[in-house]
Structure 1
Amino acid sequence: MKYVDEYRDPGLARELLTGIRRRATKPWVLMEVCGGQTHSLLRNGIDAELEGIVELIHGPGCPVCVTPAEAIDLACDLARRPGVLIASFGDMLRVPGNHGSLLDVRTQGGQVRTVYSPLDAVELARREPDRQVVFFAVGFETTTPATALAVLQADRYRLENFSLLVAHVRVQPAM
């Protein structure tokens, strides 16, 4: 499989490490944001290979990991309400709040749909005019423009059945 298999190529990995060593004129400090990134770096020994060249700092965690349980609970409560549909990214469905996950709610009959972008949630609201479609907006600064674009698009369509449950988080500046 193109691209995926390239990341598993030990020869390519060695070339990349050699390139990093050659280009590093002084020690670099990098922050990985997601726990999955941290796990991959440690599991594959990349941190040891870059010792003295790159200092890895563990960041805040991915949006899935840092979304407050209370926000997940609120999304679950909304999905249980008649006439309300929660639209969420798929990786949020299994994340537990204090009282279960969106996937639990869906298996109990709650209205939860997976979307791949905030604009998909807007289209869902267009197709489901008799339901209040609530987009569960999670992510860092990089995802907020897409959420804002969804609001603008919903306004253009004059949708009154589209709303947001916002749980965006901010990566704190280093300086």
Structure 2
Amino acid sequence: MEDPPTEPLSSGDLWKVQISCNLQRILGLTRLKILNTVHLICYHFTNSWEQFRIHGTLDLIGHADYESARKSLREKAWFDSSPRARAAFAAPHPGHPKGSEPSEGNLQVDPNQGPLDTFCVLTLDPEEIDYYHAKDAVRILFKSSTTEIGHKVWSQQELNP
């Protein structure tokens, strides 16, 4: 078994997922009170027998966000995407009747244009990562804390499996 990472994420890193900001999806997240609350995401890798349980806060960054750091993160995610991925955000909303819009394969987005209004970034700010290697019976809990000057630091503790 390889040694597990001593610091799962560098200070201040967020996990980012690009999603479409269609109204039904956003209303669903808001109605279920999913945003700005702590959630658990679990990854299980069958080949390596490893499991990661990641506890953290979910947040959504959309076109109406004007705070500069959030706006910058959204723009960076947009320009880091491939042209084909960007074009997907210009597609008509799924589930609506087909009209005369171009098919998804023919959509074009100006490569210099900033994020479309339909482009959102869902972030997970991890607070705790429970790492478990089932084959070798190794379990390590990584916990984040914030220093007096606001930096996120990680500690680790070996646990009984």
TM-score (norm 1): 0.24
Which structure has more helix as a fraction of its residues?
Answer: 1
Which structure has more strand as a fraction of its residues?
Answer: 2
Q: Which of the pair has more CA radius of gyration?
A: 1
